[in-house]
Structure formats: C-alpha cells, structure tokens
Structure 1
Amino acid sequence: MSIPEKLIVTFVVILITYLQTTTSFVILGPALGGWTSLHAQKILLPLNIFIISIYYNYYLACKTDPGHVPEGWEPPSEVLSSDPLLNLGLTGPRYCKKCEAFKPPRCHHCKQCGKCILKMDHHCPWIGNCVGFGNYGYFVRFVFSVIIGCTYGCYLLLWRLQRIFDARKNTWNPNTPTTTELLLVLLNIVILSFVILLVGVLAVYHSYCLLKGQTTIEGSERQKTRRLIKRRKIDFVEFPFDVGFYRNICSVLGNNPILWPWPFPSPGNGIDFAIRSNTDLRVVYYWPPKSPDETNQVTEALTERGDHRLVRRDSEGYLVKEITWEDRMRMLQDEQPDEQQNEQYDGHVERLDLELADDDYEDDVTEYEVDFDEE
C-alpha cells in the first residue's frame, strides 16, 4: 500500500468514525431519550449493525489477498496443444511477460501491486488494494452496507431536522435545540447525501456486474467483443462465465442466500469457474477475443519463420498440406536459424513477443512466443 493510499484509507476510517459518533451519540441518542430508553435502542440498533458491517467488510477488503497465481501453474495440456480459434479472435493461452508465468482465466496483471491478480476487477485506491477473487465479496458487501447504512442514517437525521424546526418555532420551549446541533445535523445530511450519490453509482454498476457474472475489466472486454462482432471482424462468441443471475451471485456471495450479508469468502479457488454449457474449453482459457489486426501478428510471425513450410489453401482452393498449430510450434522449436537470419534480427529483435494479451495491461502477452536467442 502506497503512502497516498494509506492517507486515503485513514481518511475513510476517520469519516466513518465521525459520522457514527456524531449521528448516534451526539444527535440521535439524546433526542430519543438516551441510550437506556427502549425506543432509542430499537431505532439505533439497526444503524449500528450497518456501521459494524461497514467497518468489518472495509477491513477485510483492505487486508485480504485478492488472489495470486500459484507458482508453476499452467493451462491443461489439451489447451496448450490445441489450435487457436482465429475466427473468434482467440489466439491462445495468455502469458504475463512481467511475471513470466501463464495467466489463469480472468486473471490480469496489476502494475500497482506488481503481480497478476486472480479474477481482477480493478485496483481501488480507497481500500489501498486490488479488488480480485479473494476480496471482491467483501468489497461488494462494504459498498451495499454503506448505501443501506447511510440511507437509514440520513432518514433519521431528516426526522431530527424536522423536529428541530418544529421546536424552534416555539420560542417558549426551554428545550429548544441549539444552533450547534442544527448545523451538525445539516452537515451530516450533506455528507451522507454526497456519499450515497457517489457510492450509489458504484453499487448500481457492481449490481449489474454481479448479475452478469463479470468484472469491471471483463465489462470493457465484452463491449469490445460486441463491437468486433457487430462489425463482422470476428464470429459470434459468448462470454463463457455468465451462467445466469442466481449462479452468478452465488459465485461471489456464496450458495446460501440467507448468508449473503455475512462476510464469508467467495467459494472456489479463483482459477476454475462455472461456465456456460457446451462452451469450448479454449474459449475459457483464450478469452478475451482480439481484433483481426492483433491476431494477424501470430499468423504473419509464424509464416515468416516457417520458411514456406506453413502452407495453406492456395488461391485456386485446393489443399497442399494441412499443418496444425502444434506442428507449427514444433517446427519453430526444432529449426535452428542460420547466421544470416541471426544478423538480420541482431540489435533490434532479441525476442519476438506477440503482444496479443489484455488491452488494459501492456505487460501481458500470449503464450505463443518465438525466442530467437534461445533457438
């Protein structure tokens, strides 16, 4: 956690503490007859339950590891040896150049954290942490606790404000609320309204993401995929991880709806996810689709290195020889470049990294790399 993020987290904790103390103990407690009255306890108990939920889920969102890739993880062998789905813009298993490791499905590299995060949603400066598989459930519960708690608190303060105005109309009332209390009530209403507005937008968007079974990053990927399909750049392909509203929510908050508000960790391991029926396994490990310009880099690179052995159907339509993707990779590994080829690439191409990975992080590349210096 960086110093600016520590300052932001400290500010959030101070703000929560201020709102809780002034609203419960300074304003509403005395107005309801004190904490010993049953009436005050009935009204303020729900408010303080939400405040406890806000504190605890915020702590878990800040401190819980969002999820890291297990050392030595690789996609299944049948996926590594499979051909790409170029008609769908899917070029192969994803590989992180920065971490020098394969990336599981839905995993992305975070530059702020300096590592790949399982099912990464975004890096959040308000919690000083990435939001990923390990803490997304806590983050969602924190957001909804803030909305519900602040809305209830704002309602109680508006009730108190009305009582203050009514009391101040009666100049003979010895218990007329002070101007200080009036200003404090107004200040807290403004702060709570501002929080509800800002966090409310976040809550609405993440409600949509929960129902669609996607992360913030995947939402952008799906928009790009829809554009590619609409422009007929790639064939139609469905997002593989959307398995229906109920199952999507259960994948984050747990399988028992009664326990959804309780801060349990999300089920699963952050690597294997429920997918749509009849989904090609390659779609799961190759997602997201790329544009034709990006996928052409794979074909061109392999064709140039194949010395005319990577043949395909010619202009007259007959097949000279069919060579699979596995054959192509084996030929690249077995072939030794001569001195002229080495001189051609020396000085400006030590390694041909096919930059075909996530658009959001430039340090991600696909698994298919041609290393001239190691051949």
Structure 2
Amino acid sequence: MLNSIFKNKDPVGLLFISLTYFFLVYAYYVIVVVICIPFFSESSYGWLNVTVLTFLIFLCVVSHFKASFSNPGYILASSGDFDEESIINHNDELTICRKCGIFRSPDSHHCGICRKCIKKRHHHCPWINNCIGESNQRYFIQFNFYTEVLCIYGIVFLMTSLVVIPDEKKSGFIQSRVYHSVFVIVECLVFGLFVFAIMCEQLTSILSSKNTSTYDSQKNLIEIFKSNVMYKYSQLCKVFGRNNPLLWFLPFEFKSNSKRAKVLLLV
C-alpha cells in the first residue's frame, strides 16, 4: 500500500510534503491550542474560528492528497491511446519520446523524476511530489487556493486577536504567545505570496491559449467578446469539469452537466 502511495520516492519531494504538513499542523496548533482555547473558549468567536479553520484545512489536505497521489495523466506504452490507424492519420501531429519510445501528443512531455510521459504536463512540483498534468491540475490549483485562503485567514485572525482579547488577558497573551503568533504571521506572508504567484501562473496557462474563432471578420465586437468569454469558460471546464462553477472549489468528483458540455463544444 505504501509503495503505491509513495510511487515517486524522490527525497526532495518527500521532504517538501513533510514540510507542507508540518506548517499546516503548526499553524493549526498555534491558532487553536495556543490562542483560541485559552482566550476564547467561553465565546462563540473562538469556536466559530476553530470550526472555519478546521473546515478550510480539511479541504486543503484533501486537495493536496489528491494532487499528490492521483495519476497526473501517465501515457503508458500499453495504454492504447494511439492505434496504428490513428498514428498514420496524425503522423504530423504526434511526437516520439526519446526515453519512453512511445507516441504522444505535442502537449505531452517526459518527466525525469516520474520516468513517464504525461499528458499536458506543466511541471514536477516537489510540494506534492508529483507532476502536474491533465488529470490532477484542478486539485493542484485547489490546493493553492485553499493555502492562500488559509494564509490570509491566519494573518487576519492573529492580528485581530490582539484587539478582541479582553484587556485582563492581553498581558498573558503578549508574554507567552507572541513568538508563536509572529512565526505563523511570517509563515503566512511568505507562503501567501509564493502560492499566489503559482496560482496566477496556473490560471494564466489555462486561459492564455488563443481562440481562433474570434478572427472571423464577420463578427462584431460584442460577438467577439462573447465568443472569448465562452472560450475561456470552456478552457476552465476542461480542467475543473463541465458542471456548476461553484463545485470547482471542492476537491471531489461530480457528474458533468451533459447539456452544458454540448453547448460548450459548439463554441
């Protein structure tokens, strides 16, 4: 079981995964055990924050787990993605991997760490010890999103705690808890900026492809704008699924909306 989970036994990747969960557990410990329970256990403010934080960390861990341990889109020699007829018909569009010796689409690339070719490979991320490809990109973006939300939440909570804590307890908080709070705030600032940059880069890579249908001279500006919006939306649907966009924030599988899929295929 462990061999199937830790299929990429890259020491750097395993170290970064360990650091990821260390920082999550430490931040949770500081906010809940060091601050909320001693100072806000008798108020709804404290328990509300514990509930919200626990829910956000749960979603963050689930998305990280799925991004780490999901198949990113491996192309196997026996997968049958390209039969002999399709290879002949699409010979100009296919490439051959020098290391795997298999046919693959132009947007597929070989990973030296995973030792496999991956569909729509973006890069190998040590924080998930896995490649980011066609099948797990949505989970990686969700992990970045919830990490960003947690960083903002941690900074806001720790900064406002000094104001909300009763005056008679402030001296005890400053003397015994300030070092933990400062460390978590710095942690949130560093990772918040880092994750925000990665998330923007991921979304840009999805939305940056050109919509060739907009170059029709018969279309007016409004039609071109609508076409571009629908095209961008269809690109996001390819990553997150053709269902309600509100479900894109959840790291779970949902049935696609077939009617919406048919409409998007016509765009």
Structure 1 length normalisation: TM-score? 0.55
- The whole-number CA distance in structure 2 between the counterparts of 1:163 and 1:109 is 53
What's 2:233 paired with?
246
Question: What are the equivalent positions in structure 2 for 1:272-283 lying under 5 Å apart?
Answer: none
* Residue correspondences, number: 231
What's 1:356 paired with?
none
Residues 245, 76 of structure 1: CA spacing in aligned structure 2 closer, same or farther, 3 A cutoff? Answer: farther
Which amino acid letter does the alignment assign opposite residue 197 of structure 1? Answer: L
Shift of 1:99: 1.0
What's 1:208 paired with?
204
Shift of 1:265: 5.0
Three-state SS of the structure 2 residue aligned to 1:244 is helix
Which amino acid letter does the alignment assign opposite residue 250 of structure 2? Answer: W
User: Does residue 1:5 correspond to 2:13, yes or no?
Assistant: yes
- The whole-number CA distance in structure 2 between the counterparts of 1:14 and 1:75 is 46
- The whole-number CA distance in structure 2 between the counterparts of 1:138 and 1:174 is 41
Structure showing greater relative contact order (alpha-carbon pairs closer than 8 Å, 6 or more residues apart): 1
Structure with the larger helix share: 2
Shift of 1:267: 8.7
Identity of aligned residues (%): 26
Shift of 1:192: 0.9
Q: CA-to-partner distance for each residue in 1:282-337, whole Å, 9 max, x for gaps?
A: xxxxxxxxxxxxxxxxxxxxxxxxxxxxxxxxxxxxxxxxxxxxxxxxxxxxxxxx
What's 2:152 paired with?
151
- The whole-number CA distance in structure 1 between the counterparts of 2:45 and 2:35 is 15
What's 2:27 paired with?
19
- The whole-number CA distance in structure 2 between the counterparts of 1:81 and 1:23 is 60
User: Does residue 1:258 correspond to 2:267, yes or no?
Assistant: no
What's 2:225 paired with?
none
Q: CA-to-partner distance for each residue in 1:24-82, whole Å, 9 max, x for gaps?
A: 221133332x1x64332223322221111111111111111112124143268366246
Residues 19, 174 of structure 1: CA spacing in aligned structure 2 closer, same or farther, 3 A cutoff? Answer: closer
- The whole-number CA distance in structure 2 between the counterparts of 1:210 and 1:97 is 27
Asked if the contact 2:124–2:132 (Cα under 8 Å) also holds between the matched residues in 1, the reply is yes
What's 2:48 paired with?
42
Q: Decide which of 156, 172, 176 is 1:177's aligned counterpart.
A: 172
Residues 96, 62 of structure 1: CA spacing in aligned structure 2 closer, same or farther, 3 A cutoff? Answer: same
- Let me know the Cα RMSD of the aligned residues: 3.1
What's 2:72 paired with?
66
Question: What are the equivalent positions in structure 2 for 1:193-204 lying under 5 Å apart?
Answer: 193-204=189-200
Shift of 1:98: 1.2
Three-state SS of the structure 2 residue aligned to 1:177 is helix
Which amino acid letter does the alignment assign opposite residue 206 of structure 1? Answer: Q
Asked if the contact 1:75–1:102 (Cα under 8 Å) also holds between the matched residues in 2, the reply is no
Shift of 1:263: 1.2
- The whole-number CA distance in structure 2 between the counterparts of 1:149 and 1:208 is 22
What's 1:111 paired with?
112
- The whole-number CA distance in structure 2 between the counterparts of 1:181 and 1:50 is 23
Which amino acid letter does the alignment assign opposite residue 24 of structure 1? Answer: V
Residues 97, 266 of structure 1: CA spacing in aligned structure 2 closer, same or farther, 3 A cutoff? Answer: farther
What's 1:57 paired with?
63
- The whole-number CA distance in structure 2 between the counterparts of 1:4 and 1:59 is 17
Residues 82, 26 of structure 1: CA spacing in aligned structure 2 closer, same or farther, 3 A cutoff? Answer: closer
Residues 116, 4 of structure 1: CA spacing in aligned structure 2 closer, same or farther, 3 A cutoff? Answer: same
User: Does residue 1:186 correspond to 2:182, yes or no?
Assistant: yes
- The whole-number CA distance in structure 2 between the counterparts of 1:132 and 1:26 is 39
Shift of 1:213: 5.6
Three-state SS of the structure 2 residue aligned to 1:119 is coil
Structure 1 moving runs of 4+ over 6 Å: 274-278
Structure 2 length normalisation: TM-score? 0.75
Which amino acid letter does the alignment assign opposite residue 240 of structure 2? Answer: L
Which amino acid letter does the alignment assign opposite residue 234 of structure 2? Answer: R
Three-state SS of the structure 2 residue aligned to 1:112 is coil
Asked if the contact 2:145–2:199 (Cα under 8 Å) also holds between the matched residues in 1, the reply is yes
The higher radius of gyration belongs to 1
Three-state SS of the structure 2 residue aligned to 1:30 is helix
What's 1:342 paired with?
none
Asked if the contact 1:75–1:104 (Cα under 8 Å) also holds between the matched residues in 2, the reply is no
- The whole-number CA distance in structure 2 between the counterparts of 1:129 and 1:266 is 23
Residues 120, 175 of structure 1: CA spacing in aligned structure 2 closer, same or farther, 3 A cutoff? Answer: closer
Asked if the contact 1:135–1:265 (Cα under 8 Å) also holds between the matched residues in 2, the reply is no
